[in-house]
Amino acid sequence: MSRTTSAKKSETSNEISVVVSEDRIPPRERIVSTASELFRERGIRGIGVDAIADAALTNKMTLYRHFGSKDELVCETLRRASEKAGAIWHDLEVAYPGNPRAQLYAWVETRAQCLNGEPAGCDLANAAIELKGEGHPAHEMIERHKAEQRDRLAALCSAAGAREAELLADTLTLLLEGARVTRQAMGTANCCGHFAKACNAAIASFA
């Protein structure tokens, strides 16, 4: 057998393997994960259900069987983004049990790492801006998520013994959301790169 023939067979096998692997993922999961990526890359209004279905290796009929509308699909992608973001609190408690101050500083480091790993920014914040004024059902979910994250941070600040824990939580929240926007406009080499240092200075000032 020639090397060319062998290489072609290898490429075909790899392609078949990818298709088989993707086929094993339930259609609903493929649709949600694909939609999340496409919304992040092109914006919610920049991609239609036909393109989402094609990219998820399914069809529009199957998509609508799982989601009654595109709005419903948008809400599901954001719900999962919210769950993923909310997992930080459990991770902090596991890593630093009974040590809220260490958890607070770890929150800063974790958020700083996430900033570097969020080239497209926060999915929920981006959706809130893109869907502004449209009465989209996702708005309530986004508002609830952001409020819950801020309240959890305030509780952690209080447990860590910070003075004016509510104000510190607001300060850290504003630094985080501001850093996300700044990263989009200026990259990580500018003031966004000082996020952790600014947060730690704020925490120290409320000690």
> Per-residue pLDDT tens for 161-179?
999 999 999 999 999 999 8
Token pair for 11? 């490429």
Length of the chain in terms of residues written: 207
- Tell me: pLDDT of 36 over 90: yes
- Tell me: pLDDT of 182 over 50: yes
CATH architecture of 1-68: Orthogonal Bundle (1.10)
pLDDT interval class at 190 (50, 70, 90):
low
What integer pLDDT is reported at residue 188 of this predicted model? 66
What integer pLDDT is reported at residue 193 of this predicted model? 75
pTM: 0.79
Topology (CATH level 3) of domain 70-207: Tetracycline Repressor; domain 2 (1.10.357)
Token pair for 87? 């997992």
Rounded to an integer, the average pLDDT of 125-129 is: 89
pLDDT interval class at 9 (50, 70, 90):
very low
What integer pLDDT is reported at residue 114 of this predicted model? 87
From 2-16, 89-103, 143-157, the region with the lowest mean pLDDT: 2-16
- Structure-model confidence comparison of residues 135 and 202, the more confident one: 202
Burial class of residue 41 in the structure, from the number of CB atoms within 10 Å of its CB (0-12 exposed, 13-18 middle, 19+ buried):
exposed
> Per-residue pLDDT tens for 49-108?
999 999 999 999 999 999 999 999 999 999 999 999 889 999 999 999 999 999 999 999
Name the average pLDDT for the chain: 87
- How is the chain split into domains, by residue range? 1-68, 70-207
Core vs surface per residue 54-73: b (16+ CB within 10 A) or e = eebebeeebbeebbeebeeb
